[in-house]
Structure 1
């Protein structure tokens, strides 16, 4: 790569050079290890939950609902509060948006990375974090968002070129892969009868479509984004083979 860590922000909409050929594969392996692990996943899941709740919040605004706030909890769960009609397409869209949100953001980041727009990924991440911060309504949630913002700022403005590349690719893989595990965790909770108010169970009550079918639909969605996003991320490596 050729751009410097201290100059990307001077031309934020310009292109950057492709990463080293091994970066997409190595970062994918790192992200997969995190998603399949124990404690590292519990830490990384806070980021996935943050994007999940951000998806609910954005969908609520797009559906014309009144967004009231977001809460993030130490057990990696979260809640997004909005006011509006208790039934209808708007609330269904709002409920549906959470679980696919990390995967959708991941495929957007993958497309930008494939187009050598690493700086655009950093800018979108910063805007998203700021948007969520103003809607946070609890201390722990504010801590998670501010810590995420701090890590992003440190890497973006002080990290060397290769570190920025590795960071962006790892986060992108983490969003793509990390969107899948919560669905398995949710279904396991549903089998134990411990997820009565989960997104899919609320969707089931709103639409009459069984919760297991909603999980299947969401699983297909996040798997498709992983295939597309993964292909974009790995394309530079295959092109150089």
Structure 2
């Protein structure tokens, strides 16, 4: 009980904001991770975890039965849900994946703007634990477990300064990484017609071109980046 109380107190105690130079360097590091291909190929697995988690959460909210999530070594993933193969529930489930990392990044920015760096890290740990029970393949289990171990290590052993830098790094990575995945999606669509991407599945269900849905993804992501930058003081409203 004392341990739980100590954790709760640490989670709910605001940290001081990072120095402006440290904050900008942290965001620059996140951008380097996203836009440097060798690092991005590895880090993109974290975006896939959130992407598939977004599908899963919205599927459950829409009343669909979640059948499980698979994460693959090529950074692709698959979320299986049971229910009507068409209609609003399926549309919203498909719509949720690409915006999910940006929306999570916006929520993270809101917590950071109030100083809850450690609270954010523990919230991410809780989300990863819930996701873990839905994973249905070994690589997916390994991927989520390693991600959780990294977050736990920083949240448990890191100093407040390290926790603050890591929390901002994760936030900026989610926001910028979400944008890159949508750009990659459109590049992939332009090379191959009739793909099974979320945008193309939405196009088949709604009879609205896939390019429109890519634009929706990008619009949501850009909105999240802008709002997060305002919340964290990088932009003036």
Return the offset for 1:23.
2.6
The corresponding residue for 1:93 is: 92
Unaligned residue ranges in structure 2 (runs of 5+): 1-5
The corresponding residue for 1:3 is: none
Give the CA RMSD over aligned residues.
1.6
Query: Does the aligned pair in 2 maintain the 1:8–1:119 contact within 8 Å?
Result: no
Query: Does the aligned pair in 2 maintain the 1:12–1:120 contact within 8 Å?
Result: yes
Give distance in 1, aligned partners of 2:229 and 2:175: 8
The corresponding residue for 1:160 is: 159
The corresponding residue for 2:179 is: 180
The corresponding residue for 2:3 is: none
In the superposition, the TM-score normalised over structure 2's length comes to 0.93
Give distance in 1, aligned partners of 2:112 and 2:9: 18
Does the C-alpha gap of structure 1 residues 16 and 90 become closer, same or farther in structure 2, counting only changes over 3 Å? same
Unaligned residue ranges in structure 1 (runs of 5+): 1-6
What secondary structure, in the 3-state scheme, does the structure 1 residue paired with 2:232 have?
A: helix
What secondary structure, in the 3-state scheme, does the structure 1 residue paired with 2:174 have?
A: helix
What secondary structure, in the 3-state scheme, does the structure 2 residue paired with 1:197 have?
A: coil
Give distance in 2, aligned partners of 1:23 and 1:108: 21
1:99-123 deviations in Å (ceiling 9; x for gaps): 0000000000001100111122012
In the superposition, the TM-score normalised over structure 1's length comes to 0.92
Return the offset for 1:143.
0.4
1:84-104 deviations in Å (ceiling 9; x for gaps): 001100000000000000000
Q: As a proportion of its length, which structure holds more helix?
A: 2
Which deviates further from its counterpart, 99-108 or 194-203?
194-203
The corresponding residue for 1:27 is: 26
Return the offset for 1:8.
6.2
Query: Does the aligned pair in 1 maintain the 2:118–2:163 contact within 8 Å?
Result: no
Q: Mapping of 1:141-156 within 5 angstroms?
A: 141-156=140-155
